[in-house]
Structures are given as structure tokens and as C-alpha cells.
Amino acid sequence: MKKTSAKAKAAKVTAWDRVKLARDAKRPHLADFIKLIASDFEELHGDRLVNDDRALIGGFATIEGEKVLVLGHHKGATVEENMEANFGMVNPDGYRKAMRLGKLAEKFRLPIVTFVDTPGAYPGDTAEARGQAEAIAKSLEVFAGLKTPIVVVVTGEGGSGGALAIAVGDKILMLENAVYSVISPEGCAGILWRDGKAAPLAAEALKITAADLAKLGVIDEIVKEPAGGAQNNHKLAAANVKKAVLKALKELKSLSVDELMARRYNKLMQMGRFN
Amino acid sequence: MSWFEAKAEKAKIPAAKELWAVCPKCKSHLPKEEWKANNAICPRCNYHGRLSARERIAQIADEGSFKEIFREVSYSDHLDFHDATGDYKSKVEATIKKSGETESIVMGTAKIGGHDAMLGVMDFGFMGGSLGTGTGERIARACEEAIMKRLPLVIFSASGGARMHEGILSLMQMAKTSAAIGKLKDMGLPYISVLTDPTTGGVSASFAMLGDINITEPKALIGFAGRRVIENTIHQKLPDDFQSAEYLEKHGFIDKIVERKDMKAFIAKMLNYWGF
């Protein structure tokens, strides 16, 4: 077996390390990013049907003079906030709110910036009764067709369909230590290893890190994090996100609506395409 | 019972399994021959059981009208995926050999009661009907082809959800298929989604729930999350009819529950109403 120096070993960050970093409670969350990136933010509430889901927050904001709609998963930083936000697990009402606000942004040609950080859509009986599957499906269809630029930032946990529902866009950015996966490593390990404790192995096999996703063509850009992870320096992490978002917005705003829509459609069609 | 008798007893069980079918809903036992003769429908509780894609096509497409397309679009092992029981490539190759199918959806053009249509039928026997990159690609191409030929789209789903062996790219097929179907609908073409037993996870949360009309069969299981996951989340036992076709209809997500014997005529009738 090849010998590796202690230094090289220490430098190797495994997929499982990144899962833990992505879930770190001290990592910057939606509220931190909004505070550090936008000069103002006006939250708008409700799906106009039954509820105002606190796990998915939306509102208009200004980022360096750019007026945008911000949508994002809300996990919360304290126990009270976690409870209020249902730990970032969205109900159908949340996705319906996102669609409503997305259409409002489209109406006024305002770009949309989404922040993705959820363990997954809420797996509860009430969520099923109100059509979790339909709400996610409809979100995918709607965001694929909104005639306004969409920039997606995967900031923490990209948990399967619950993440994807607000992650269809024109530019997909991902923080260096964020993860994005079809199933949680624990869930996959439980099914394919018959042992939840094999999660680190599943995390490796599923290829869920930013570097993996860039190679697979699922994301466009990796956003650097401060040394040791974004939890060590919220300001620096947010500054890097802001820079990447502004660059993406500038590029997308230079396109005509037809070009934008054709590019987004082709981008989606290329996912996993092979010859 | 001595140990060798117990062993002999155990050896008999597979033989019984080969002779008897058990309805997964009401647990009735009936001879396999009878189950098959009754078109995989339980005579006791009217549960509409699973059919292979080929059996379904034979019941829906007018005789001799089905022309398969995109058979060459198959799975892809982008991740070089290995788990505790081996590698994905060997598993899927074994499935291909055994089933004769090359992906979890069979796609083609067909006549349905005289109406030209693009018809896709998922096969639960192919890796649990999971949504892989090949499945998504077939659906996306079918939408493009249907747009070109001005054909309505009919898809029968039967799937446990995304294919985790294909990782994030299987998740992306949810977005890809939904975008392609959105485009087809924007072009004024109809899409009839038939959610058959079972349709869950990433398939119900993408193209299967996006029909201009969503229909299903009696007692089919349709949902997003798995029953056990939900019970663990809410710490409560769920009622028997939870996530059934009847439950979905009651909550407003299904247009109609259609008996298998009436399915073809119902689809043809809808296409007729809409002028296709």
C-alpha cells in the first residue's frame, strides 16, 4: 500500500467530513446570509391556500443595488428557531409559497436567488395529505419555466427532492463543504448496506461533494469557504457567496429572455445525457 | 418434530410460494393461475396488482400498433457505484439479462382506441421501476418527439422513486422530466399520467404528478415518503388506507380511479374530448 505522509492525510477531507460540516449548527444559515449579503429584505408570507410555512422563507431584497427575490430553506440556529422552522423540512405549503413568489418575481422581471439547505422535504402525514409529491413536482415544472434569471446557492445540506424543488435554475453555485444528494448517506446505508452506521461509506459512494458535482456537470461553480469551514467566519463565507451571486446575475442579465430559457432547458436536458 | 423433519418442512415453502399468490392488500391466498387469469386483480378486495410493462402495453395499445423507440438508451454508471452487496453495473446487467428490458420505462408510439399517442410504461420489475438517467432521457426524448409529431403523451408509472445507484444524476432526472413535460404541455399537447401500484418518491414528486389529468387504479399505493419513515417522524401508526388511490382521490390529487378493464376506453374517451 502507498504510504501517505501525516500532513497529506490531515489535508484529505472525506465526504463524510463534509456531511458533518454541512450540518454544523454554527454554519451560516439563511438569516445570516441575508443579513450579510443584502442591504434590505422584506419578507412576504403565505401560500394563499392554507398556511405560511416557516421552513421556506421568501421576500424581496437588494444586493449591491440589484433588486431580487430571495427564497431559501430556514433551519434556524436555536432550538426555538429549529422548532419553528421544522428543522428546514418544508411542507407542500412552503413550495406553493415559493411558486407564488417566483411568479411574482417573473411578473416584474426580477431575478431570483435561492439558498438551499434542508435535510429533505417533511415526511409527515399532513404533508402527504396536502400533496407533498404534487407540490415538489409542480415546483420543478414552474421554476424550469419562469422567464427570469435564477441563481441557486447550495449552502449546506442539499437533501434530495426537498432541495431540488427550489434548485432548478440557470447558475448553480455550491459552497465548498456543502453536500447535495439523492438520499441521505444514512438512508442509503440503511437500504444498500443494511446498516445505518455505514453512512460514511455511502457518502463516499454517492459522490455528494461540491467537487464531485462539478465533475458530473450538476453545478457550475464551487464557492470557497474560510479555512476549516464557513462556521469559522460567517462574514468571509457570505462575502464569497455575494461575489459569486453578483457575477452570475451580471452574466444572466445580459441574455435575452429567449436565450435564457433555451439555455436553462438545454442545461436540464444535458443532465446525465450520454451518447 | 425432529431436526430433519423441520428441515424438510422448510424446503417445502418455496414450492408453496410458486403455487399460491397472496394479495398484498387483503392477504387472501389464491392459486397463481387464478391470479393471472384475473389480470392480477384480487377477486376479494379488488386491489389492482402489478403488471409488467409488456403486459400493460398489450392491454392499452391497439393490437400490433406499438412501435418501441429509444431501446438503445439504457442505464449509465456515472458514479462507478459500489455498495455492500457488489457493484451497480453487475446488478443492472443481470436485470437486463433476466427481464429483456434495457431500462425501467418502455417507450413507443401506439394507437389507443384509434388515437395516435406516445406511450411510456414503467416496469416495476426493472430495479423497482427506479428513475435512472436512461429513464429520464427516454421520457425527455419522448416529449421532444411528441411535440414534433403533435402526439398526446400517456405515461403509466410504477416506481419506488429515484435510483440511488446513479446518485445526484438520478435526482436531476426529476427536474429534467418535469421541464420536458412542462414544454409539451405549453405546446398545447395533452399529458395523461396513470399512477399505478406503486408510485412513490422521486417519480410521484416529478412527472407522475404533472398530468393534465392524473388517474390511477383501485387500491394503488401513491405517495412521497415511505410509510415507515412517516411513522417514525410522527410517532403514530398510520391508517390502512393512507397513501392509497382512494386517499389521494379524497384529498384532490387524482382525477379518477379507473378499473383496469375500463382503462383503455377511458384514455381514448379523454383524447376524444380534447380532439386528439
B140 has a chain A CB within 8 A of its CB: yes
Contact B204 A137 (CB under 8 A): yes
Write out pLDDT tens, residues B73-111.
999 999 999 999 899 999 999 999 999 999 999 999 999
Q: Which pLDDT value is given to residue B10?
A: 58
Write out pLDDT tens, residues A123-146.
999 999 999 999 999 999 999 999
Q: Which residues of B touch A160 (CB under 8 A)?
A: 162, 171, 202
Q: Which residues of A touch B171 (CB under 8 A)?
A: 160-161, 164, 181-182
Q: Which residues of B touch A131 (CB under 8 A)?
A: 209, 251-253
Contact A218 B168 (CB under 8 A): yes
What is the full DSSP assignment across A199-234? Answer: HHHHHHHHT-BHHHHHHTTS-SEEEP--TT-GGG-H
Write out pLDDT tens, residues A224-237.
999 999 999 999 99
* Alpha-carbon gap, residue B94 to B105, rounded angstroms: 17
Phi, psi of B135, deg, nearest 5: -60, -50
Q: Pick from A126, A49, A147, A99: which is nearest to B251 by CA? A: A126
Q: Where in the sequence of chain B do the CATH 3.90.226.10 domains occur? A: 50-273
Query: Where are the domains positioned within chain A?
Result: 13-269
Q: Which pLDDT value is given to residue B17?
A: 76
What is the full DSSP assignment across B234-255? Answer: HTSPPPTTTTBHHHHHHTT--S
Q: Which chain B residue lies closest to A202 (C-alpha atoms)?
A: B83
pLDDT band, very low/low/confident/very high, at A1 (cuts 50, 70, 90): very low
Q: B207 near B193, Cβ under 8 Å?
A: yes
pLDDT band, very low/low/confident/very high, at A10 (cuts 50, 70, 90): low
Of A121, A145, A205, the CB nearest to B81: A205
B171 has a chain A CB within 8 A of its CB: yes
Write out pLDDT tens, residues B146-190.
999 999 999 999 999 999 999 999 999 999 999 999 999 999 999
What is the full DSSP assignment across A150-171? Answer: EEEEEEEEEEHHHHHTT--SSE
How many Cβ atoms from other residues are within 10 Å of residue A35's Cβ? Answer: 12
B266 has a chain A CB within 8 A of its CB: no
Q: Which residues of B touch A137 (CB under 8 A)?
A: 174, 178, 204-210
Q: Assign a CATH topology to domain A13-269.
A: 2-enoyl-CoA Hydratase; Chain A, domain 1 (3.90.226)
A260 to chain B, closest Cα gap in Å: 14
B200 to chain A, closest Cα gap in Å: 8
Q: Which pLDDT value is given to residue B12?
A: 57
Q: A216 near B169, Cβ under 8 Å?
A: yes
Question: What CATH number matches the domain at B50-273, 3.30.70.20, 3.90.226.10, 3.40.50.300, 3.30.360.10?
Answer: 3.90.226.10
Q: Which pLDDT value is given to residue B2?
A: 59
Q: Which pLDDT value is given to residue B16?
A: 73
